[in-house]
Structure 1
Amino acid sequence: MDGAGAGGTRGAGAGAGRPSPVRARPVQGWEALTASERKVARLIAAGHTNRSAADALVVSPHTVNTHLTAVFRKLSVTSRVQLTHVVLARGDAEREAPVGRLR
């Protein structure tokens, strides 16, 4: 591993001891959503149920519900209809959304 740059001394490289710049994610709004939350938001806005969104993303419905709860909080919406309006207003409801069938 030494040849791969994983030498035995920690923090001996350039910038050692200084924290790397990390861009903080906003707390509210679309930019506050993680990639997974955005996928869930787009699927729900497209008419998927939690179960069909879970099938499309190959995760459990509980995971979708967890993401959806975070999406509602971060976007300050209280219903799927309001979420759909937010997603459609962004104009990118189809972009980045995984292909899945509605059931």
Structure 2
Amino acid sequence: MTALTEAQGTFTESGAHAAAARVQRDLEAAGAKGRRAAAVERPVQGWEALTASERKVARIIAEGHTNRSAADLLVVSPHTVNTHLTSVFRKLSVSSRVQLANLVRALPDD
């Protein structure tokens, strides 16, 4: 059960929501509560609302990359980058890459 719980957490943090949901169902079928409560605790707005994958995309796009060049860096499709970027814009309440870049630049260094 511990390995499944850790896998579910890793999937959730990395933005692999479908995989996280499958593991969650397996955990529930096995009688565990899983990490669903922890996922609910994440804010819906702001930088802390972003998944790890969304944060990576936000930082790369803020550096001036196109969706295609970001996709090449992350070894994903441009469509995946666009999906993450759409979520980033919504969660951060920004409507342009310039606004995103300004917001990311103002963040404290991790």
TM-score (norm 1): 0.69
Higher helix share goes to which structure?
2
* C-alpha displacement of 1:65: 0.2
| Structure 1 CA distance for aligned equivalents of residues 63 and 56 of structure 2 | 11
* RMSD between superposed Cα atoms in Å: 1.6
| Structure 2 CA distance for aligned equivalents of residues 40 and 78 of structure 1 | 15
Given the alignment, which residue of 46, 60, 66 partners 1:43?
60
Structure 2: which 5+ residue stretches go unaligned? 1-29
| Structure 1 CA distance for aligned equivalents of residues 91 and 83 of structure 2 | 12
1:28-73 Cα offsets, whole Å, 9 max, x none, are 0000000000000000001110000000000000000000000000
Percent identical among aligned pairs is 76
Given the alignment, which residue of 53, 57, 68 partners 2:70?
53
| Structure 2 CA distance for aligned equivalents of residues 38 and 20 of structure 1 | 24
Structure 1: which 5+ residue stretches go unaligned? 1-9, 96-103
1:6-45 Cα offsets, whole Å, 9 max, x none, are xxxx54xxxx7xx467331100000000000000000000
Name the SS for the 2:94 alignment partner.
Answer: coil
Q: Which residue of 2 aligns with 1:68?
A: 85
Paired AA for residue 31 in structure 1 = E
TM-score (norm 2): 0.65
How many residue pairs get matched?
A: 78
Choose between structure 1 and 2 for higher RCO, CA contacts under 8 A separated by at least 6 residues.
1
| Structure 1 CA distance for aligned equivalents of residues 82 and 108 of structure 2 | 24
Larger Rg: 1
